[in-house]
Amino acid sequence: MKEITASEFDNEVLKGGKVVVDFYSTECPPCEALASKFQNLSELYGHDIKFLKIFRQGNRNLAEALGVKSSPTLLFFEDGKETGSRLTGGIKRSEIIKNLDSLISPERVRDIKSRIKPSVSEFDVIILGAGPGGLTAGLYLCQSKINTVLVDLALPGGNVANTHQVSNYPGFIEPLPGYLLSHNMSEQTKLCGTVYKVAVDVTSIDLEKKEVVIDEYETLKAKRIIIATGTTPNNTGATGEKELRGKGISYCATCDAKYYDNKEVLVIGGGNSAVEESEFISRFASKVTIIHQFDKLTANRQAQEKIFKNPKVTFLYDNEPREFRKEGDRIVTITENIKTGVRSSLESDGVFIFIGMKPNTDLFKQKLEMDKWGFIKADEDMRTNIRGVYAVGDVISKKYRQITTAVADGTIAAMAIAKELE
């Protein structure tokens, strides 16, 4: 692996045969997460593919000319032409391998993979999930000198990282961006000594044996496991939703409603969450329009009676969103009447989506005791029905799901485990 500058780009990349280039930055957690993977893969594929690094901040003109707008960004070249797919952000090892394999013959791929040696690492505790609950558990455990590894499919932060502003977290007088709160939590836990394995693929989990296999070849063993995998908001599937998440589209009224004071807001959904959150949003917004796919709300009668009396709230029934796009500071939502097929265009200052949350429990189904909605049941010490397995945060069955409640769960689980391991 070699680091180059813009002046060497033509010779090293455009005339260099098969090349992968990492545009990285300093003070960049995703870059740090990628570094070890990039180094390891260079040792495996280095005889066939040239691995290069370019410091993006010091080679800004080149980065801009190539359309590199974030760090890290991986570009793949063959005979001077970019190939494969660009990778950016929390880059997984499997994504890199897919692009690398496409540059060489199937025979070489098989040969390289035959030389990969599986590894085994032992810890006291494995934490699955790096949201507030998992990060807090990691912090408390490492402060108790308990050897802990934190595993996540993405980068640390969980859903908080996508929250526009957080103003109800104790200790911060001024609101702060969700990504910054996540970053501070992550850095504090990492600095304490918790080992991070983030932006990885989880190949398998054995809760009974307390073994987790990541990226196919690395096995993590422990005495205890904490599940902190959180939830994922149900998506509408409309064009532009993913791109505008945290940039005008929100899934948390408690977090973001206060930033729409005297503004117009759309709410997607018609169940209890949508109706109750709309009532809360109306304390701030000048107008709330509820868009629901059916011809009447599905929330309970008490919630409906209350929302119908609210002069700020209007309703658009039999409609579903088809597209979200940003025009200046406003969000344009294209809806379609599911009975007539007629489309409408609505402008607003923001959109809240409440069509349910799903727990991230696919890897544990039929292994843990869950409630009827698929959330994991845990006792007051966060223990599940499997000995030595704990669950914390939004993934557990409970009444309220907030950053503070997840942090409390993580604290309890860590203290219970620390006492057990003593």
Q: Against a cut of 0.85, is the pTM above it?
A: no
From the candidate CATH numbers 3.50.50.60, 3.10.105.10, 3.40.630.30, 3.65.10.10, the one assigned to the domain spanning 241-353: 3.50.50.60
Phi-psi region of 71 (alpha: psi -120 to 50; beta: other; left: phi over 0): beta
Residue 179's pLDDT is what? 86
pLDDT in tens, 262-316: 999 999 999 988 999 999 999 999 999 999 999 999 999 999 999 999 999 999 9
Cα 376 to Cα 15, 323, 359: the distances in Å are 55, 34, 9
CATH class for the domain made up of 120-232+357-421: alpha beta
The Cα 308–Cα 296 span in angstroms is: 12
Asked whether this chain's domains 2-114 and 241-353 adopt the same fold, the reply is no
For the chain, residues with pLDDT lower than 70 are 164
Q: Dig out the tokens for 294 from the structure.
A: 């059916």
The domains of the chain are located at 2-114, 120-232+357-421, 241-353
Q: Are 393 and 409 in contact (CB under 8 A)?
A: yes
Strands (E), 167-217: 195-198, 202-206, 211-214
CA dist list (Å): 378 to 29, 133, 135, 227 = 32, 14, 19, 11
Strand order in the sheet with 73-78: 2-4, 50-55, 18-24, 73-78, 81-88
For 2-114, CATH gives 3.40.30.10
CB 138 within 8 A of CB 148: yes
